[in-house]
């Protein structure tokens, strides 16, 4: 099952949140490592058109430049091939829902939440349950009750709910207080105008 789209979607944060810098694409000739999902238990259920993979008891996904851990993971993949086969041929990832202690790490950026829902067809990721995104290197942090990341639009929508409001923490700014800067007085009207020295 190819889950490379997972890395691109969940890490849309790099292109939508403060201090984001686009990730350079991997060279075309360089083979990408396989995506690996490890868990304490796995259950499969198939219909003629879909296969549902339910991972539980501690889940770890390792993909290209990405590590995701959670308590529980449900992956739904579209399938073709023999309808009587248990798994069949997995064609495309339809959705992914990670829940319970979700933690996503790429480079120096980290996202945590109680729940992460990934919808590859819509290029959309929804983080809920105390989501926090932070960058150790750039020194910013974003919190909010619900974060919706729209990869194709390079956009994030963070909405408040009830008393909870979005909160952004950025690196310190220099003191912009007007009373801290020495007063600049205008030059007298009759002061000579400085001229550049004549060329030699």
Tens digit of each residue's pLDDT, the chain (200 residues): 444 444 444 444 444 455 555 555 555 667 888 889 999 999 999 888 898 999 999 999 998 888 999 999 999 998 876 666 656 555 678 899 999 999 989 888 899 999 999 888 888 889 999 999 998 888 899 999 999 988 778 788 998 888 889 999 988 888 777 666 666 777 777 767 666 666 66
- Say which residue the tokens 């909160």 belong to: 167
- Say which residue the tokens 């729940």 belong to: 115
Where in the chain are the domains? 4-25+33-173
> Rounded to an integer, what is the distance from CA 72 to the centroid of its chain?
19
In Å, what is the CA distance from 182 to each residue of 58, 177, 179?
A: 60, 11, 8
- Domain 4-25+33-173: which topology? lipopolysaccharide transport protein A fold (2.60.450)
Entry pTM: 0.69
């Amino acid at each position: 099952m190819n889950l490379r789209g997972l890395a691109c979607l969940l890490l849309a944060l790099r292109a939508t949140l403060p201090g984001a810098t686009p990730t350079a694409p991997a060279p075309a000739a360089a083979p990408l490592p396989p995506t690996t999902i490890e868990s304490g238990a796995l259950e499969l259920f198939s219909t003629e058109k879909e296969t549902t993979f339910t991972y539980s008891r501690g889940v770890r996904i390792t993909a290209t430049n990405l590590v995701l851990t959670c308590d529980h993971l449900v992956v739904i993949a579209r399938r073709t091939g023999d309808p009587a086969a248990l798994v069949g041929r997995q064609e495309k990832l339809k959705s992914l829902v990670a829940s319970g202690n979700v933690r996503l790490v790429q480079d120096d950026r980290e996202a945590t939440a109680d729940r992460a829902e990934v919808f590859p067809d819509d290029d959309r990721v929804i983080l809920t349950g105390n989501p926090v995104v932070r960058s150790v290197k750039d020194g910013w942090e974003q919190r909010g009750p619900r974060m919706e990341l729209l990869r194709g639009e390079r956009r994030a929508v963070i909405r408040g709910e009830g008393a909870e409001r979005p909160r952004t923490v950025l690196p310190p700014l220099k003191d912009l207080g007007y009373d801290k800067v020495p007063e600049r007085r205008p030059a007298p009207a009759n002061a000579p105008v400085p001229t550049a020295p004549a060329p030699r």
